[in-house]
Amino acid sequence: MNFRAVRAIYIFEMARTLRTLLQSIISPVISTSLYFVVFGAAIGSRISEIDGVKYGAFIVPGLIMLMLLTQSIANASFGIFFPKFSGTIYELLSAPLSFVEMVLGFVGAAATKSIILGLIILATASLFVPITIVHPIFMLAFLILTAVSFSLLGFIIGIWADRFEKLQVVPLLLITPLTFLGGSFYSINILPPVWRTVTLFNPVVYLISGFRWSFFGKADVNIGASLGATFLFLFVCLIVVWRMFATGYRLKV
């Protein structure tokens, strides 16, 4: 394992966060604060509690997950796309490092940035509503697993994309709608039986439900199913990344 190469890629990607601090950290925190103003104050005044949890606190895990998914994809996809765009990807491919080491550097940095952002948003949320975390170990586990999984998805998107516009296709047209429809701001138990069954085919439901369980000890779906779905998604992303490097898909001309 070439740890020096992994460290170099990781430090370079982390340094990019400092150069784009407004976009990487400040903008998502402001967006989260606006969500609290709109949903927590406006809607929260009409909905007092859901499953015995104050509505303002109930939406915290969903908001963190919304930002975590989108930022993980954005950080990882741009991180690998820009070397492709500038042509420096060939220097990495010809360097004495394996695809595992390259993925560790790029995905590790993207996941780290997303985890830091998630913790900052959690701290910001605590300024608006009192938050109690029932299972802190599981909370950190879901935070890390989700950040790594969707950073891998972002890495896949960055390799697949051949234009800047394509970097936004999956997050805007797929991930964000699935997150909003996955119980971020409501419990799927309040839906009619038919729509609740349909919602269970949304993989984001399991992520949000498991993350919410770590906060309040209550979930829309079984915690085992949430963990299983998260690990399955992680495994699928790893297989896709391995296949891309094995075939040189959009990496080698």
DSSP letter string, 47-94 = --EETTEEHHHHTHHHHHHHHHHHHHHHHHHHHHHHHHHHTTHHHHHH
- CB within 8 A of 141, min separation 6: which ones? 214
Dihedral-angle region of residue 248 (phi above 0 means left; psi in -120 to 50 means alpha; beta otherwise): left
Instruction: Name the burial class of residue 191, with classes exposed (0-12), middle (13-18) and buried (19+) by CB atoms within 10 angstroms of its CB.
Output: middle
Strand 49-50 versus strand 53-54 pairing type: antiparallel
pTM of the model: 0.90
- pLDDT tens digits, 172-228: 888 888 888 888 888 888 888 898 888 989 989 999 999 999 999 988 899 999 999
The pLDDT of residue 73: 92
Please count the CA atoms within 13 angstroms of the CA of 158 that sit on its side-chain side: 27
Residue 145: phi and psi, rounded to 5, are -60, -45
Other C-beta atoms within 10 Å of 71: how many?
27
Upper half-sphere CA count for residue 165 (Cβ side, 13 Å):
0
> Which residue matches tokens 């992520």?
207
Task: State residue 132's pLDDT score.
Answer: 86
What is the rounded CA–CA span in Å between residue 101 and residue 157? 19
Cα–Cα distance list, 81 to 5, 41, 55, 65, 75 (Å): 19, 39, 39, 24, 10
Confidence of residue 21 (pLDDT cuts 50, 70, 90): low
Alpha carbon of residue 164 to chain centroid: 20
DSSP alpha helices (H): ranges in the chain?
3-19, 21, 27-35, 55-58, 60-86, 89-94, 99-125, 136-160, 169-170, 176-180, 193-199, 203-216, 223-247
For residue 93, name the pLDDT band (cuts at 50, 70, 90). confident
Separation between Cα atoms, residue 108 and residue 145, nearest integer Å: 12
Evaluate if residue 161 carries a pLDDT over 60: yes
Choose between 140 and 5: higher pLDDT.
Answer: 140
**Do 66 and 184 touch, CB atoms closer than 8 A?**
yes
Distance CA 49, CA 57 (A): 9
